Amino acid sequence: MTAHNFNAGPAALPAPVLERVRAELLDYRGRGMSVMEMSHRSKEFEEVNADAEARFKRLAGVGDGWRVLFLQGGASTQFAMIPMNLVPRGRHADMIVTGAWGEKAHDEAVLLCGSRVAASTKEGGYRRVPRRAEITLSPDAAYVHLTTNETIHGVQWHDVPDMGGVPLIADMSSDVFCRPLDAARFSLIYAGAQKNLGPSGVTVVMLRESLIASANKDVPTMLRYSTHAKNNSLYNTPPAFAVYVLGLVLKWLEDGGGLGVMQAFNEEKASLLYSTIDESAGYFTGHAEKGSRSIMNVTFRLPDEAKEKAFLAEAVAAGMVGLAGHRSVGGCRASIYNAVPLASVQALASLMREFSRRG
């Protein structure tokens, strides 16, 4: 039986993608082996790599002037690579912190350059994104960094404010391609693949070529964007199998009608859970304020920890996996990324209704 997979990442992959991987596992297109076993210098893999890059650019709606890189080290390595490459000596980054991941990005930038908190919603317990008036930008910042979706707190930006002329950088690890992307607003976006894009092991960085050209030169080779851009992400041995599966996930997104269709589907799933919370007469409490609710990670609490424990146990018995909140905040979290089917969300919503009726 297939599990109802609410894992936060690694997370559910689309069933048609897994079926395709299975079909090609012992014999990729007549080559007599899997993509895992091929040289990354082969014509076959170069095609896989180029196809994934082209699909990412098409879905993001960008053309020349942008590069898509497939890197390793997770989004966590980007917390360091971004300041190392893009903050000139003596300058600083402005950080907007709306949850645990933004905090980590800020902490890392502090180690490497000046890093200034331009806004933080920590005081209220990370329940919302800041209003524009609460963001104090400094005109000489090298860039502004924000996290479009805070995976642990379930807080998402739905309308990114104008940052003036300062380049905007976004960690989109847990909501990339959950809806159409207005790339013109950004200078660099990045995402670990293991939530909306594919298996873990590959991190996508999409950035403007102009940033690569003006980046700091005194950066170790593997941590320089220019190294990977010059070599089409094939400077060293890439996470070949992860890039192959990522390409299949992007194909699934395109074949399914693209990001507008995906957004409608994700909103349908999220509103099913949020309406279950709102109609529970206070039995369930959503963590995020309504205007900042994530359509990817739905975070909520029950009346007390004993009930949360009992609810999570019933969920497991009903085949639902991954619903415990992150260990740092507790409670419950349903991660409902692109590949999570409506049927899983319906099953969860009805368990929530039934459990709350019992009291």
DSSP per-residue codes, 178-235: SS---GGG-SEEEEETTTTTSSTT-EEEEEEHHHHHHS-S-S-GGG-HHHHHHTTT-S
Site string for ligand PMP, 176-195 (x = CB under 6 A): ----------------x---
Q: 110 exposed, middle or buried (CB, 10 Å; 0-12, 13-18, 19+)?
A: middle
Compare residues 108 and 311 and give the one whose CB is closer to ligand PMP.
108
Of 10, 16, 61, 74, the residue at the interface with ligand PMP (CB under 6 A) is 74
Q: Which of 101, 157, 175, 269 is catalytic?
A: 101
Is residue 308 close enough to count as binding ligand PMP by CB under 6 A? no
- Please identify which residue in 5, 85, 115, 147 interacts with ligand PMP, judged by CB under 6 A: 147
Q: What angle do CA 303, 307, 312 make, to 5 degrees?
A: 120
DSSP string, 17-69: HHHHHHHHSS-GGGSSS-GGGS-TTSHHHHHHHHHHHHHHHHHHT--TTEEEE
Annotate 249-279 with b (16+ C-beta within 10 A) or e (fewer). bbbbbeeeeebeebbebbeebbebbbebbee
CB of 170 to ligand PMP, least distance (A): 10
Active site residue 278: no
If one asks whether residue 75 binds ligand PMP (CB under 6 A), the answer comes out as yes
Binding segment (CB under 6 A) for ligand PMP, from list 74-82, 265-273, 298-306, 349-357: 74-82
Do 74 and 53 contact (CB within 8 A), yes or no? no
β-strand partners of 147: 171
108 binds ligand PMP (CB under 6 A): no
173 part of the interface to ligand PMP, by CB under 6 A:
yes
10 binds ligand PMP (CB under 6 A): no
- Residue placing its CB nearer to ligand PMP in the complex, 151 or 187: 151
Tell me the C-alpha distance between 258 and 240, whole Å: 25
User: Does 27 qualify as catalytic in the annotation?
Assistant: no
Q: Kindly state whether residue 101 participates in binding ligand PMP, applying the rule CB under 6 A.
A: yes
Q: Catalytic annotation on 195? A: yes
Q: Is there binding between residue 76 and ligand PMP (CB under 6 A)? A: yes
Nearer to ligand PMP, 178 or 349 (CB): 178
Residues involved in catalysis? 101, 171, 195
Residues that bind ligand PMP (CB under 6 A): 9, 74-76, 101, 147, 151, 171, 173-174, 192
